[in-house]
Amino acid sequence: MTTYGLLIFDKVEALDFVGPWQVFASSAAVRARDGAGVDTVVTIAERPDPVRCNKGPLRVVPDHTLDDHPPLDVLLVPGGTGTRHEMTNPAVLEWIQRMTARVDWLASVCTGAELLHAAGPARGRRVATDWELEDELEARGDITIVRDARYVVDGNLVTSQGVSAGIDMALWLIGRLHGRAHSRFVRRKIQYEPAPPFMADEPLVS
């Protein structure tokens, strides 16, 4: 059994956590179908109120607060402009510090790496983050930014670049936990086979 906890906060970048949530939830459904275990995926916020996402009126109601969530095996910290506020929020930073010693895997997407640096667990580690934040985070010191890598693994810390890169990171993580074949099946199930348009001179389709 694996329990995934996804931290959310006001002005969180939606796909930063929804992308990994889709991977983890799909993984849990496949494992339950196969009788391999009952995994759980929960969202966690400081308060029980709906959280407003970064790009507009989308709101998410958290499953748990910092004080009432189940024990976690994996903690994922997403990014978004809200990380600027959370970096000075002692309740969230102290909770991340406590959880670092309790989870098997700590993960971040995008500017979530800033929160992990502010809270401590990313210090002295190799990380990936949003390409627009790399220089700023590197300037904070005591951290090594790995550029041009969708995700980076350093011990039990796995970090990814921005937004969609969190899906790659989550697929790697379920492969590490439950095997490569399982991860490949989940990737196929969610039809994550990136083929972005306009990468070459293909014609527009009307």
Q: What is the pLDDT of residues 38-83, one digit of tens each?
A: 999 999 999 999 999 999 899 999 999 999 999 999 999 999 999 9
- Give CA separation, 88 vs 1, 71, 107, in Å: 34, 25, 20
Active site residues: 110
Per-residue pLDDT, 79:
98
Measured in whole angstroms, how far is the alpha carbon of residue 202 from the centre of its chain?
33
Q: Which residue has the tokens 């980076």?
A: 152
158 φ/ψ angles, rounded to the nearest 5 degrees: -130, 125
Residue 206 reports pLDDT greater than 70? no
Residue 23 reports pLDDT greater than 80? yes
Residue 202 reports pLDDT greater than 70? no
Per-residue pLDDT, 192:
97
Q: Which residue has the tokens 């095997």?
A: 179
Q: What is the pLDDT of residues 89-98, one digit of tens each?
A: 999 999 999 9
The pTM score is 0.95
Q: What is the pLDDT of residues 169-184, one digit of tens each?
A: 999 999 999 999 999 9
Per-residue pLDDT, 198:
78
Residue 27 reports pLDDT greater than 60? yes
Per-residue pLDDT, 199:
76
Q: Which residue has the tokens 């790496």?
A: 113
Q: What is the pLDDT of residues 109-151, one digit of tens each?
A: 999 999 999 999 999 999 999 999 999 999 999 999 999 999 9
Domains delineated in the chain:
3-189 (3.40.50.880)
Per-residue pLDDT, 196:
84
Query: How many CB atoms are closer than 10 A to CB 142?
Result: 10
85 membership: H or E segment, kind and range: helix 83-86
Q: What is residue 36's DSSP assignment?
A: S
Q: What mean pLDDT is predicted for residues 9-23? A: 98
User: Would you state the structure tokens that stand for residue 108, as one six-digit string?
Assistant: 């971040």
Q: How confident is the model at residue 203 (pLDDT cuts 50, 70, 90)?
A: low
